[in-house]
Structure 1
Amino acid sequence: MNVDPATKGGRRQLARNARGYGYYDVPAGPDQGRQFQVVCPLCRERVSAAWESGKTRIALLDAAIDAHLLHDCEHGPQQ
């Protein structure tokens, strides 16, 4: 199984791994919309995804993990 964050397939597998441990459904605050959070399997940081109409939770969480791995994760391909 390829879990290299530099490859698209590796990031997809890491996103599935992150969702496999569950996610957090954060209720909307007075000044923000509903958010979902998942823990990055590499750095253990919580990654947030804002609710968007017409998108599934899985798509939102996968996109958030993918962006996190590409730009913010200390173990991502940019390092």
Structure 2
Amino acid sequence: MTVVFTITFGLLSAAGVLAILRLAKGPRTLDRILALDVLLVLIVAGVAVGIASSLKGFNIALLITVALLAFVGSIAAIRLVERWEEYR
């Protein structure tokens, strides 16, 4: 299972680098918000894999909380950008 966890961390890291590149490159604000949301999902997935590899599940409530806050934050940011572009 160690090999599986290592491969999973490697793939999540590669996806994280690509998400950071999209976050830096843009071209629009909504693309950056989406890239940040993807990056947060990858971080949550990485922590979940870390929890699975250590066989200690005491951080699961914290993991769920962070995932929900990331989702709510993304929705709030998208609505803010949508309203901001409406007033332009």
* Normalised-by-shorter TM-score class: 0.3 to 0.5
TM-score of the pair, normalised by structure 1 = 0.33
The structure where helix makes up a greater share of residues is 2
Larger Rg: 2
TM-score of the pair, normalised by structure 2 = 0.30
